[in-house]
Structure 1
Amino acid sequence: MLNKYTLFFISYLLTVSMVFSQNSSDKLPLSSLLLTLEKSYDIKFSYSDNDVKNIFIPKPKEGISIENLISYLNKETFLQFKTLDNRYVTVSFLNKYISVCGSVLDANSLEPLFLTSVKVNGYKLGTTTNSKGLFYLKNVPVNATLTISFISFKTKIITAKELFSTHCKEVFLEEETEELSEIIMPKFLTAGLHKNADGSTVLDTEKFGILPGLIEPDILKTIKILPGVESINESISNINVRGGTNDQNLVLWDGIKMYHSGHFFGLISAYNPYLTKKISVTKNGTSSAFSDGVSSTIKMETSNKITNKLSGGGGFNLLSADAFVQVPIKKNLEVHISARRSFTDVINTPTYNNYFSRSFQNNSISSSAVNNTESKFYFYDYSFKFLYDVNYNHAIRANFIHIKNNLDYQEKYTTNTTTIEENSTLKQENLGANITWQANWDSKFSSNVSLFFSDYKINSSDYNKDSDQYQTQFNNVLETEIKVDTKYEFSDILHFTNGLVLNEIGVKNTTTVNAPTFSKTDKNVLLKSAFYSEIKYHKKNTYARFGVRTNYFDKFTKFVVEPRINIRQQLNTEVSIKLEGEFKNQTTAQKIDFEDNFLGIEKRRWILSDDKNTPIIKSKQASFGAAYSKNKLYVDITGFYKKADGITAVNQGFYNNTQTLNSIGNYEVKGVEFLVNKQTDKISTWLSYTYAKNNYTFDIFNPTTFANSLDITHSLSAAFNYNFTKFLKVSFGGVLRSGKPYTTPIVGNETIESGNRTIVNYNNPNQEKLDNFFRLDLSGSYDFNFSEAIKSTVRIGFTNLTDKNNTIDSYYVVDETSENNVRRVNNYSLPFTPNLSFRINF
């Protein structure tokens, strides 16, 4: 049997033979032809090797005169052949014009790029490619260069001589990623997770592998595996990055700031992962183009390129069904659509029952065991994206997204012969839209103008038949923003970015009661503007980004300046170090209200800074780390420090007797993140550990400094992924972390009188900690194809394999029937829960 080296050698010889035979029959290299002609005609050509390089012409007829030979050579080339005497012939460039042609292709997909710009530099001459990616130009100066550019791709400059050929030369353009830097780890933890030079982590949903317990690339569940990222109550609506609250994460979907992130009140990500192409998570060293989110930036992007191919997919799991499609309308116009809806109001699966119990525990909806309760809960989300390439230098993108949770329930009480009904509703939704104009003005200067609006609403209505009282609550955030971003490329390694932002946020909170009549409405509006500037240098082993953002708040006549820094240096082929730092601010926060809440289900409502009772939250953060990478072993250790000023007691969620007072303070967190990841062809296994010490400081409390409600001192996670085959994969892993702090009543004096009410007399806040949290998860995936064009995947996942009853929160309520007149209420994590998904893509 022939070995691979023998086969390679034979293939090589065959290829060379074919090329040689083709060239000999059609065209000959000019350099070798001139040598042959010198012998045939006993003449001497004087030329530079560079001038005749890569020129192929047909062989002239034999026996023609020298005069006819010289005329033939002048006609077939863009060179000048001139006879000095009967023996010597000079060869030189003429200041003349040639015809050029080329075929422009996507370097990744090898698809032709329609409407690519082709310009002759220094001349008013240019064209665009046709539907096959081809272009032709006549009368091009022989010494000219051409700039070939296409929106969202790297510009290429090529000489006219390289394009002088009867066979159009193929020109490959590489896709350009504006915001994301070079990938330094193509596979991080699992397929589809990448590590970038700027420290951000990117999830590519199209290439996503498998993670413990997950049946799909749930965007927000996936980022919880990263060191320093926790969920204090295992909800994706409560993601805590380096000790920060969930409202301190800036969540962007195609440039739209989103105020709502979860279905099923936080147990499922509200963003369809199958149309969302990339998600990047930045914990520190954020680009100055972004503000808000003093803890992190979570940036989601859908596909931004016109594919000219009909593609899509769909599937279902035990909670919902979804579908997405990409439809080309014209060569330069395409629409992307996605939609998902739960069937939880029609079918109750075991997964739904567990999610329902977990979401609605300890409120009136969970009392179905006592009362005759009927409830209907469903969620949906859908999105549209329109992609239009105006021409080769300008593109317009428009997006729309709508997310909604809807709960309707009815309780019936029977007393003697009287039946009392109580009807309640809870609706939570976020609408968003964005339009963007992308422009390449030349090979170095580009701009991006975008406009978005985001409209978040949550409202509830509750009718109590016993008291004949009807109560409504409403929270609304409306934000609009226009942003102008410019980028100048001094070279491939040095980029300079500037931008201007105008932003307006309005927040409204309303509560009404009919008996006794009561109505309260708070509405605040804040106009702010910002200018940012940033320079990025990236060459070989060095990545550096320096930026500054200046914010102006019109209502407060206040400037806030935010410097940013992000440096990574590769010391050798194995070791790199990184330094990150930033100042950030945000003007919105979530107030946590345990009494004035939405049916006891959603206790958070958005509020807006007034620079007095609710200050602008400002953070300072620095981190330094080192990474080692060799033979698919990756080790990363990072130390960090963060301080956030301007937080209020009402948005921290701890129980005490003074939480409703106007108390302003800060939190300070110090910690270390450690990660080790080993990969082979079939295995990827990792261990992650985070140590952090997180404390509040509030002058109004005693003691003034105490544990943060999000103080998770130790957090350990590990996982093992194994690929049995290319199609069959399994993932097993678990989490072990410290319990969260909580507050207990004063022993012997558990209740006190407050006006005409009896309330819990809490001790100093957060002096106790819940038991450790522990959970094991398992998932499996199998891929198979119905045909070459139709691919399918079946996945099964198990959450909390041991069915451990983890306590995720604990508080006390007044109960005169209990000992000491108080009763402890515990909230528990999701029990053992199976889930299954099936998908088809085409």
Structure 2
Amino acid sequence: MKISLKIYVILSSLSIIFSFNECLGQVADQIHKPIPLNRVLDSLEQAFDVKFSYVDDHIGDLYLEKYPSCEKLEICITEIEQNFDLKFEILNERFITILKIDSNLQTFCGILFDAETKQMLEGATVMIKGGIAISDEYGKFLIKDAGFGDSIVVQYLGYQSKKIAVQQLQTGDCAKIGLTPLITMLKEVTVQNFLIKGIDKKADGSLSIDLQETEILPGLTEPDILHTVQKLPGIHSINEKVSDINVRGGTNDQNLILWESIKMYKTGHFFGLISAFNPYLIQKVRLIKNGSSAKYSEGISSIIDLKTFDKVDKEFEAGAGINMLNADAYLKIPISDKIGLHFSARRSFAEVVNSPTFSNYFERAFRDSEVSKFVSGTDTLATNKNFYFYDYSGKLLYDISRRDKLRISYINIFNQIGYEESESSSVRQESKNSELQQSNRGATVKYERVWSDFVTSSSSLAVSSYNLVSTNFDIPNNQRFLQENQVLDVSVKSSLDMRLSDHFKLQTGYQFNEIGVSNLDDLNNPNFRKFTKEVLNIHGQFTEIAYNSSSGQTLSRFGLRVNYFEKFNKFRFEPRFALNQLITDHITIELLGEAKSQVTTQIIDFQTDFLGVEKRRWVLVNEDDIPIVTSGQVSLGAHYKKNNILLSVEGYLKQVDGIITSSQGFQNQLEFVRSSGSYISRGIDILLNHRIEGLNYWISYSYSKNIYDFKSLRPSQFPNNLDIRHASTLGVSYSMNKLDFSFGLNYQSGRPITEPENLSPISDGSINYQTPNSSRLGHYLRPDLSAKYHFMMGDKIRTQVGFALWNFTDQTNVVNQYYIINKSEEIQKVKEKGLGLTPNLMFRITL
């Protein structure tokens, strides 16, 4: 029995072993048998919950040696692509298409650039059968799976489309492809480096200023756009202030100053002595003296259109600097490939350190005002004077797609002066705080869309809020005088640009403005309150067409703006034109003209308003005692450019109607007279510029004659307060390696003033004046110089140090003169002097 049991166990074991070996053989045969690819795809669909789309004939004969050993779908796909000429394209989270790759297809690349400027073109569209590619920031694009018989079509807005055979491209180094700008872009710039590097004369008569490229200017340590424009012929300031820029005889309120499409009602710090715009985020400035586009409203004397950087940065950038007036910093932050943020801030620091430069500016800004009228030796004194200013701005950039852009911008400008007025006597001791605040805040939202290579559109909403508030305490008279001036300007604008052909371009659009202006005067003793508020809605429609000849020698633009003033039920038609004709290779003739209007103006009721610091207040037209201001201007110019020598000559005639006496700043017998009239300004602007390697020198000269015409006054015609017959600037700049140097001389003939009568200067307690503006001040002469040195701190920190001397000979310049009757009932002459010798130092770093 035991033997039989052992034999049974042995035989059973052998049977199990043989059966197991047979099973292993069958499994092994199954494992090593090729697996159809479609079965593998079915398994992947179930495992990863996806769906493959393919042509059966492309994979019907394909087998895998084994199942892919992978835990992620992407790894499985890569393993299959490595075994077969297949390409998997993931359409979304669930659907995947499978394409068969032609072994004859290859990958090609190219680099796109501007055929004229050699600048790389980012965002160009490269189309090929079955797909598209977009060029990157270096102009490079890749075309995959292209055959030698295929062709590509390259398109880029503003450039001629180009068709290229793929066989002309290279599989190794990228082929370089130059695109030719369309005719409308060929002659945009007529004269490069107009006056200095960074200022270009455009074909439409305007000037383009690149603040990042401009050379150092005399008297300035850093770029200042409102000082820069004063170096150009036909533009100056009657009193050295950037808040009093006079263009061809116009007052400052006749200049339309835009920051990112926001109308700015305040443009200066130190109440007008320096520009309030941080230059390090401003990329381009467009200056227009005549022949403006129909898209612009207001600005009957000039338009200064400031644009900040508009590109989403690839890398982080930061900069900071300090001079003897303020410190500032800016940031350019790339949040993602499509979103960027720009921010800048600046503030004075006199509360910590009161520099000699700041003291000079302070004295200049507040001389002959309520702030400085109190002196020692009297019972009433002004002490604890405190002044500061700041500005900050921000911009959010969002490239929604390569055709859609959204921009949101904000700016805030603020100035404040305060002082403590105290009275100390045997009777009483009392102190009060008087102050003045002036600010301008603005915001804009802008959306741009590129519909095609031929059509683009732009829509924007802009809001500007201006606020001027002063509280003036008069302790001896127990008075508190509160004054306010507020402006709220809301603008909605939409435009459409169409390229009709290689020679014609059309722009049309609509603009709506709602402007509200309020003024308050509130006195407590005696009790007096006056509050006025005006609101006006303006509808503007504009259309213009631009033409460029095939040769590029003739460029013209004709436009019409129609404004409807809702409150007055009044239409106004305003034609604009610009014509540029190339006569020879070196001579260009330019004809410009425009009709314009504006509904806001600044007036002075009393010289003591707002502490006597910012005397002007904004008012809105009412078609009663404040009419709509209108203008018409025509100019003819010729420009010669050869071998780095530029000669520009331009004559003009301008008439402005609807001005009022209170907007002109009279300080004579017309100070309290209210009348409306006009002025005619005619003149000639000349510029000579020569550049030799690192040396650049220029001389500009302007002659003008500016005459008032007030029909209700006697005499009705007399010289304008801004009638500067002769004005000239001379400058030399030199760059050598890392050192920049600049010297300049500024000259103006004397401005008109009104003297008292010699025989009977006082009558009934008032001054008897001679004929208005029948005398003139002496000449104005100011020499300036600047120097700047560039170097690196380490590998990444760019550094600048510089200094400037304003009026380095300490020339005494009287910029205004008027007369008052003092407490002794005698005539007192008051002279307003310009800045004396004023040094400034600067240190700046950029990362």
Are the aligned partners of 1:588 and 1:608 in contact in 2 as well (CA < 8 Å)?
A: yes
Instruction: Specify the alignment match of 2:821 in structure 1.
Output: 814
One-letter amino acid of the counterpart of residue 736, structure 1: Y
Residue 119 of structure 1 deviates from its aligned partner by 5.0
Q: Please give the alpha-carbon distance, in whole angstroms, between the structure 1 residues aligned to 2:186 and 2:750.
A: 36
Residue 660 of structure 1 deviates from its aligned partner by 3.2
Within a 5 Å distance, the mapping from 1:135-534 to structure 2 comes to 135-136=142-143, 146-149=153-156, 156-159=161-164, 161=166, 166=171, 169=175, 182-367=188-373, 369-370=375-376, 371=381, 373-416=383-426, 418-534=428-544
Out of 657, 665, 668, which is 1:645 matched to?
657
For the structure 1 residues 101 and 482, does the alpha-carbon distance in structure 2 shift closer, same or farther, using more than 3 Å as the test?
farther
For the structure 1 residues 668 and 592, does the alpha-carbon distance in structure 2 shift closer, same or farther, using more than 3 Å as the test?
same
Residue 170 of structure 1 deviates from its aligned partner by 5.4
Within a 5 Å distance, the mapping from 1:25-174 to structure 2 comes to 102=109, 113=122, 117-118=125-126, 126=132, 134-136=141-143, 146-149=153-156, 156-159=161-164, 161=166, 166=171, 169=175
One-letter amino acid of the counterpart of residue 636, structure 2: F
Q: Please give the alpha-carbon distance, in whole angstroms, between the structure 2 residues aligned to 1:731 and 1:131.
A: 36
For the structure 1 residues 483 and 137, does the alpha-carbon distance in structure 2 shift closer, same or farther, using more than 3 Å as the test?
farther
For the structure 1 residues 400 and 119, does the alpha-carbon distance in structure 2 shift closer, same or farther, using more than 3 Å as the test?
farther
Residue 124 of structure 1 deviates from its aligned partner by 9.1
2:749 matches 1:716 = no
Residue 367 of structure 1 deviates from its aligned partner by 3.9
For the structure 1 residues 144 and 174, does the alpha-carbon distance in structure 2 shift closer, same or farther, using more than 3 Å as the test?
closer
TM-score, structure 1 normalization: 0.83
Q: Please give the alpha-carbon distance, in whole angstroms, between the structure 1 residues aligned to 2:511 and 2:446.
A: 14
Q: Which ranges of structure 2 fall in alignment gaps of 5 or more residues?
A: 1-84, 86-103
Are the aligned partners of 1:591 and 1:651 in contact in 2 as well (CA < 8 Å)?
A: yes
Deviates more, 1:348-357 or 1:306-315: 306-315
Instruction: Specify the alignment match of 2:832 in structure 1.
Output: 827
One-letter amino acid of the counterpart of residue 541, structure 2: F
TM-superposition CA deviations, 1:106-165 (whole Å, max 9, x none): 76897784x765556xx9964656899645466899676635347xx7574444647866
Q: Please give the alpha-carbon distance, in whole angstroms, between the structure 2 residues aligned to 1:571 and 1:179.
A: 19
Instruction: Specify the alignment match of 1:557 in structure 2.
Output: 569
Are the aligned partners of 2:668 and 2:818 in contact in 1 as well (CA < 8 Å)?
A: no
2:750 matches 1:739 = yes
Deviates more, 1:141-150 or 1:528-537: 141-150
Q: Please give the alpha-carbon distance, in whole angstroms, between the structure 2 residues aligned to 1:800 and 1:131.
A: 46
One-letter amino acid of the counterpart of residue 801, structure 2: V
Residue 776 of structure 1 deviates from its aligned partner by 0.8
Instruction: Specify the alignment match of 1:773 in structure 2.
Output: 780
TM-score, structure 2 normalization: 0.82
For the structure 1 residues 180 and 220, does the alpha-carbon distance in structure 2 shift closer, same or farther, using more than 3 Å as the test?
farther
Q: Please give the alpha-carbon distance, in whole angstroms, between the structure 2 residues aligned to 1:290 and 1:769.
A: 36
SS at match of 1:555: helix
For the structure 1 residues 584 and 162, does the alpha-carbon distance in structure 2 shift closer, same or farther, using more than 3 Å as the test?
farther
SS at match of 2:622: coil
Q: Please give the alpha-carbon distance, in whole angstroms, between the structure 2 residues aligned to 1:143 and 1:488.
A: 32
Q: Please give the alpha-carbon distance, in whole angstroms, between the structure 2 residues aligned to 1:98 and 1:508.
A: 72
Residue 790 of structure 1 deviates from its aligned partner by 1.7
For the structure 1 residues 181 and 584, does the alpha-carbon distance in structure 2 shift closer, same or farther, using more than 3 Å as the test?
farther
Are the aligned partners of 2:182 and 2:502 in contact in 1 as well (CA < 8 Å)?
A: no
Residue 814 of structure 1 deviates from its aligned partner by 1.6
For the structure 1 residues 602 and 395, does the alpha-carbon distance in structure 2 shift closer, same or farther, using more than 3 Å as the test?
same
Q: Please give the alpha-carbon distance, in whole angstroms, between the structure 1 residues aligned to 2:586 and 2:262.
A: 38
Residue 307 of structure 1 deviates from its aligned partner by 2.3
SS at match of 2:713: coil
Out of 681, 695, 704, which is 1:683 matched to?
695
Residue 730 of structure 1 deviates from its aligned partner by 1.4
2:635 matches 1:623 = yes
Out of 601, 610, 613, which is 2:622 matched to?
610
Instruction: Specify the alignment match of 1:28 in structure 2.
Output: none
Q: Please give the alpha-carbon distance, in whole angstroms, between the structure 2 residues aligned to 1:282 and 1:248.
A: 12
Are the aligned partners of 1:796 and 1:836 in contact in 2 as well (CA < 8 Å)?
A: yes
SS at match of 2:610: coil
Q: Please give the alpha-carbon distance, in whole angstroms, between the structure 1 residues aligned to 2:741 and 2:507.
A: 44
Out of 640, 648, 660, which is 1:636 matched to?
648
One-letter amino acid of the counterpart of residue 838, structure 1: F
2:605 matches 1:599 = no
SS at match of 1:224: helix
Are the aligned partners of 2:126 and 2:152 in contact in 1 as well (CA < 8 Å)?
A: no
SS at match of 1:351: helix
2:717 matches 1:705 = yes
For the structure 1 residues 744 and 112, does the alpha-carbon distance in structure 2 shift closer, same or farther, using more than 3 Å as the test?
closer
Residue 568 of structure 1 deviates from its aligned partner by 1.3
Are the aligned partners of 1:741 and 1:769 in contact in 2 as well (CA < 8 Å)?
A: yes
Q: Please give the alpha-carbon distance, in whole angstroms, between the structure 1 residues aligned to 2:798 and 2:331.
A: 15
SS at match of 1:805: coil
One-letter amino acid of the counterpart of residue 835, structure 1: N
2:801 matches 1:801 = no
Q: Cα RMSD between the aligned structures? A: 2.7
SS at match of 2:223: coil
2:584 matches 1:579 = no
Residue 513 of structure 1 deviates from its aligned partner by 0.9
Within a 5 Å distance, the mapping from 1:653-668 to structure 2 comes to 653-668=665-680
SS at match of 1:778: strand
Q: Please give the alpha-carbon distance, in whole angstroms, between the structure 2 residues aligned to 1:363 and 1:450.
A: 41
TM-superposition CA deviations, 1:165-195 (whole Å, max 9, x none): 6456556779999999722333222222222
For the structure 1 residues 181 and 376, does the alpha-carbon distance in structure 2 shift closer, same or farther, using more than 3 Å as the test?
farther
One-letter amino acid of the counterpart of residue 746, structure 2: V
Q: Please give the alpha-carbon distance, in whole angstroms, between the structure 1 residues aligned to 2:775 and 2:113.
A: 59
Q: Please give the alpha-carbon distance, in whole angstroms, between the structure 2 residues aligned to 1:400 and 1:205.
A: 20
Are the aligned partners of 1:656 and 1:763 in contact in 2 as well (CA < 8 Å)?
A: no
Q: Please give the alpha-carbon distance, in whole angstroms, between the structure 2 residues aligned to 1:372 and 1:296.
A: 40
One-letter amino acid of the counterpart of residue 538, structure 2: K
For the structure 1 residues 204 and 130, does the alpha-carbon distance in structure 2 shift closer, same or farther, using more than 3 Å as the test?
closer
SS at match of 1:364: coil
TM-superposition CA deviations, 1:23-45 (whole Å, max 9, x none): xxxxxxxxxxxxxxxxxxxxxxx
Are the aligned partners of 2:745 and 2:783 in contact in 1 as well (CA < 8 Å)?
A: yes
2:680 matches 1:674 = no
Q: Higher Cα Rg: structure 1 or 2?
A: 2
Q: Please give the alpha-carbon distance, in whole angstroms, between the structure 2 residues aligned to 1:346 and 1:704.
A: 53
For the structure 1 residues 798 and 162, does the alpha-carbon distance in structure 2 shift closer, same or farther, using more than 3 Å as the test?
farther
Residue 751 of structure 1 deviates from its aligned partner by 3.7
